[in-house]
Amino acid sequence: MTENQQVLIDSIPQGKLAESNYRLASVAMPEVAEGEVLVKTIAFAITAGTRAGLQGSASYAGAPQTGVVMNATGVGEVVESKDPELPVGAKVMGPTGWQNYSLQKRKQVSVIPDGQDPVHYLGPLGVNGLTAYFGLLQVGQPQAGETVMVSAAAGSVGHLVGQIAKIRQCRVVGVCGSDSKGAVLTQRLGLDAAVNYRDGNYRQSLKEATPDGVDVYFDNTGGTILGSALFRMNVGGRIACCGVVSQYDTDSPEPGPKGVPGLLINKRLTMRGFLVFDFADQYDSARKEIAGWLASGELVSLTDEVRGLKQAPEAFVDLLAGGNLGTRVVRLD
Amino acid sequence: MTENQQVLIDSIPQGKLAESNYRLASVAMPEVAEGEVLVKTIAFAITAGTRAGLQGSASYAGAPQTGVVMNATGVGEVVESKDPELPVGAKVMGPTGWQNYSLQKRKQVSVIPDGQDPVHYLGPLGVNGLTAYFGLLQVGQPQAGETVMVSAAAGSVGHLVGQIAKIRQCRVVGVCGSDSKGAVLTQRLGLDAAVNYRDGNYRQSLKEATPDGVDVYFDNTGGTILGSALFRMNVGGRIACCGVVSQYDTDSPEPGPKGVPGLLINKRLTMRGFLVFDFADQYDSARKEIAGWLASGELVSLTDEVRGLKQAPEAFVDLLAGGNLGTRVVRLD
């Protein structure tokens, strides 16, 4: 094993992302320096938010670069170690990127406890799960009996948001992009209603699905779905701004929704944007609670797996078109 | 005195408001019923927010009607009383509308203490002052040393916001529509900088005026000024959404700012809309603090007076074009 396979960003997308924006590369295995470990990737997550990193300076991810490994959070096993805290055989979650091997340091990874499925660290116990947990509970602050609406409700974050809101005894309405996803939300995950935003009757269906209005809206999309939510919000409602998936796969984002700031005033709404990293000091207690829900079966993790590094670009393009159900993961093992 | 002079809404504006949307009327003096008082108007305020009431159901003021007296908050003196709590001679603030006489009930008016200038109850001690006070201090939550930006900074609410932020030891930048207003803000009211949004160099000037970014933005305008503020906000910043004056004088409001929700997420911003009525239980303590600032000279009330009921429509049209400095008041005494 002397070569590392990678997927590099070959060009910055003009308009929609295409598989041709990526290329495969084969490079020498990296040298492990003191304090580092070499991690063999088991799997990495494909997440819509990384598309924003290819858009330029308006994103928190910074200006995009070509010729570098595509970034991703992954899980893997330590195969060579120059850090006694991370012995060979340890399983970790960290910024592996789209490649078979990566160098990691202790402070940039989370150690996965023995007996825990590493792939859960890309889903409910990883960034997606923590995002759902803190965004819903601390930013949205839902109370039992309130109505929670979530967009991209069958997505990696959304499908966890809806279930956590049900655990907290809310009425939950998920917005998604197909009737088959909607059926999964209501029949398998226990949501009270699902609405397909691609349906011509979307606004009316949303109204019927939220007879008491919406108290908390967890926004993964921005754009027209955010606009529709503003009209359904109750006085005093909270909007947790998590992602803008409707605006990622383009180089000319839409204007913002018309109801801002007029409807915010009339209805005394609070919109708050957040990044999960702001809650890092509370990850441990959150993971403990989420792990409990997984163990009891109250929370179901939907994983949508693809095999092989070469499949990553296609899997990402398809995800941006709404092709995934739950957390999309590329497995390399 | 058997006739009451009134200004009625004659037609709903198509596009911009015009004086011709109003007409004068002369009606019989109203009969005072048990529990009511007849109030002779001393003055009423012209405020941009009432323009929203002529736009239809998107406004919190409800659907517009014609043939009714134009609404306004005013101050006046009780001239006939069938309520022992409001004797003849008492001065009150309440919903007088654009007319010489109105019937009022105890619960819909505030009694103006003896010795207090009644016109202050249309400015710093009235709805404008309370809006500035609660919106800045409770919604915006500025800390000493932070930068506060306010739009419509020479307006009825804005000129009080800027001064209260100075009292709270913030750096304060006001956005206004002319250089002469800007000079009043910096030279007379003590703001640190003023920026003219009508200047072609506005964005660059705003950047130079906010070298440390913006921590709290008090938004009276929405639209492009809100958009410019989003780009200057610091991580963790707060936006108090008070008014949408840029969108009132039209029947086709602009789309919302592009940065919503993308910049809210990247910068972890909170945008919160409010109405002053939500703070009604704290009016007394707020008025006490504001009255102290007026007495000490720390807070200056700018009043822009017009005389005579017939002048009200022109004064309103001119205000919507940015013609006022401070609180515009129509005096009838």
Q: What is the mean pLDDT of residues A131-147?
A: 98
pLDDT number for residue B140: 98
Cα–Cα distance between A305 and A11 in angstroms, integer? 26
Q: Tens digits of per-residue pLDDT, A234-269? A: 999 999 999 998 888 887 777 889 889 999 999 999
C-beta atoms of A272 and B253 within 8 A: no
Query: B-chain residues within 8 Å CB-CB of A219?
Result: 261
Q: Which residue in the set A255, A265, A272 is minimally distant from B256, CB to CB?
A: A255
Instruction: Give me chain A's average pLDDT, please.
Output: 94
- Two tokens, residue A107: 């402070």
Question: What per-residue confidence (pLDDT) applies to A6?
Answer: 98
Mutate to test the interface with A, among B47, B233, B260 (most CBs of A within 10 A): B260
Tens digit of pLDDT for each residue in B254-296? 788 988 999 999 999 999 999 999 999 999 999 999 999 999 9
Q: Residue B185: is its pLDDT beyond 70?
A: yes
Provide the 8-state DSSP code for B325: S
pLDDT score, position A1: 62
| Calpha distance B170→B286 (Å, rounded) | 19
Burial B200-218 (b: 16+ CB within 10 A, else e): eebbebbeebbeebbbbbb
List strands edge to edge, sheet with B147-150.
A193-196, A171-176, A147-150, A214-219, A233-241, A270-273, B270-273, B233-241, B214-219, B147-150, B171-176, B193-196
| Contact state of B226 with A261 under an 8 Å Cβ cutoff | yes
> Going by DSSP bridges, is the β-strand pair A233-241/A214-219 parallel, antiparallel, or unpaired?
parallel
Of A60, A242, A264, nearest to B241 by CB-CB distance is A264
Q: Which residues of B touch A222 (CB under 8 A)?
A: 260-262
Q: Which of A69, A121, A74, A53 is nearest to A330 (CA)?
A: A74
Q: How far is CA B58 from the centre of its chain?
A: 19
Nearest to B60 among A52, A266, A269 (CB): A266
| pLDDT confidence tier of residue A95, bands split at 50, 70 and 90 | very high
Among the ranges given (A156-170, A266-280, B66-80, B248-262), the one the predictor scored with the smallest mean pLDDT: B248-262
What's the one-letter identity of residue B227?
Answer: G
Cβ <8 Å between A272 and B274: no
Q: What angle do CA A267, A269, A274 make, to 5 degrees?
A: 165
With beta carbons under 8 A apart, name residues in chain A contacting B256: 255-261
The residue in chain B having the minimum alpha-carbon distance to the alpha carbon of residue A60 is B266
Confidence of residue B181 (pLDDT cuts 50, 70, 90): very high
Q: Among all residues of chain B, which has the CA nearest to that of A262?
A: B244
Are the beta carbons of A266 and B258 separated by less than 8 Å?
Answer: no
Percentage of chain A modeled with pLDDT above 70: 98
Question: Taking CA atoms, what residue in A is nearest to B274?
Answer: A268
Residue B90 has pLDDT above 80, yes or no: yes
| B167 pLDDT higher than 80 | yes
Q: Quick one: pLDDT at residue A60?
A: 53
Contact A244 B262 (CB under 8 A): yes
Interchain pair A263, B256: CB under 8 A:
no
Q: Cα A296–A300–A306 angle (5° rounding)?
A: 140
**Mean pLDDT value across residues A324-330:** 96
pLDDT at B253: 73
Residue B61 — pLDDT band, cuts 50, 70, 90? low
- Give the per-residue pLDDT at B115: 87
Q: Is the pLDDT of residue A62 over 70?
A: no
Question: Chain A residues with CB inside 8 Å of B60's CB?
Answer: 265-266
Closest-CA distance, A222 to chain B, in angstroms, reads: 6
Mutate to test the interface with B, among A230, A260, A275, A279 (most CBs of B within 10 A): A260
Beta bridge pairs of residue A276: none
3-state SS class at B81? strand
| pLDDT score recorded for residue B57 | 52
> Cβ A265–B243 below 8 Å, yes or no?
yes
Among the listed residues A114, A125, A21, the one whose alpha carbon sits nearest the alpha carbon of residue A67: A21
pTM reported for the whole predicted model = 0.92
Residue to substitute from A57, A271, A274, interface B, most B β-carbons within 10 A: A271
Would you state the pLDDT for residue B258? Answer: 86
Q: A244 to chain B nearest CA, in Å?
A: 6
Tokens of B232: 């200057």
Q: What is the average per-residue pLDDT within B4-22? A: 95
- In degrees rounded to 5, what are phi and psi of residue A70? -60, 135
A225 contact partners, CB below 8 Å, separation of at least 6: A151, A175, A197, A219, A246
Supply the pLDDT for residue B14.
Answer: 87
What mean pLDDT is predicted for residues A29-33? 96
Question: According to the model, what pLDDT value does residue B1 have?
Answer: 63
A216-236 pLDDT, tens per residue?
A: 999 999 999 999 999 999 999
| Residue A254: per-residue pLDDT | 78
Provide residues of B within 8 Å CB-CB of chain A.
58-60, 219, 222, 226, 239, 241-244, 247, 253-275, 278
Residue range A148-164: average pLDDT?
98
**Residue B7 above 90 pLDDT?**
yes
Tell me if A271 and B272 make a contact (CB, 8 A cut-off). Answer: yes
Q: What is the mean pLDDT of residues B73-85?
A: 98
pLDDT at residue B218, as a whole number? 98
- How would you class B102 by CB atoms within 10 Å of its CB: exposed for 0-12, middle for 13-18, buried for 19 or more? buried
| Domains along the sequence of chain A with CATH | 3-123+301-331 (3.90.180.10), 127-277 (3.40.50.720)
Q: Does residue A307 surpass a pLDDT of 80?
A: yes
CB contact under 8 A, B273 and A275: no
A-chain CB neighbours of B262 within 8 Å are 52, 58-59, 222, 244, 247, 253
Judged against a pLDDT cut of 80, whether residue A53 lies above it is answered with yes
- How many C-beta atoms lie closer than 10 Å to residue B186's C-beta? 16
Sign of the dihedral through C-alpha B183, B161, B227, B215: positive
Residue in B with minimal Cα distance to A226 = B261
**For residues B160-168, average pLDDT:** 98
Calculate the CA B5 to chain-centre distance.
25
Q: In terms of CA atoms, which chain B residue is nearest residue A279?
A: B268
Give the mean model confidence (pLDDT) for residues B110-130: 94
Our CA-based measurement puts residue A36 at a distance from the nearest CA of chain B, in whole angstroms, of: 30
The Cα of B262 is separated from the nearest Cα of chain A by a number of Å equal to 6
Q: How far apart are CA A288 and CA B179, in angstroms?
A: 58
Q: What is the mean predicted confidence (pLDDT) over B185-202?
A: 97
pLDDT exceeds cutoff 80 at A58: no
Please judge whether A257 and B260 are an interchain contact, meaning their C-beta atoms are less than 8 angstroms apart.
Answer: yes
Q: Is the pLDDT at B142 greater than 80, yes or no?
A: yes
Nearest-neighbour CA in chain A from B282: distance (Å): 17
Chain B positions touching A131 (Cβ under 8 A) are none
Pick among B224, B263, B266 to test the A interface (most A CBs inside 10 A): B266
Residue A56 confidence class, pLDDT cut points 50, 70, 90: low
Q: Which residues of B touch A239 (CB under 8 A)?
A: 261
Q: Residue A255: list chain B partners with CB under 8 A.
A: 255-258
For residue A57, pLDDT over 60 is answered with no
Q: What is the ipTM, given to two decimal places?
A: 0.90
Residue B159 phi, psi (nearest 5): -70, -20
- Work out the average pLDDT over A121-126: 96
Angle between the N-to-C axes of helices A158-167 and A127-134, in degrees from 0 to 180, rounded to the nearest 10: 50
Per-residue pLDDT, B252: 75
CB contact under 8 A, B241 and A257: no
Summarize pLDDT for B289-322 with one digit per residue, the tens: 999 999 999 999 999 999 999 999 999 999 999 9
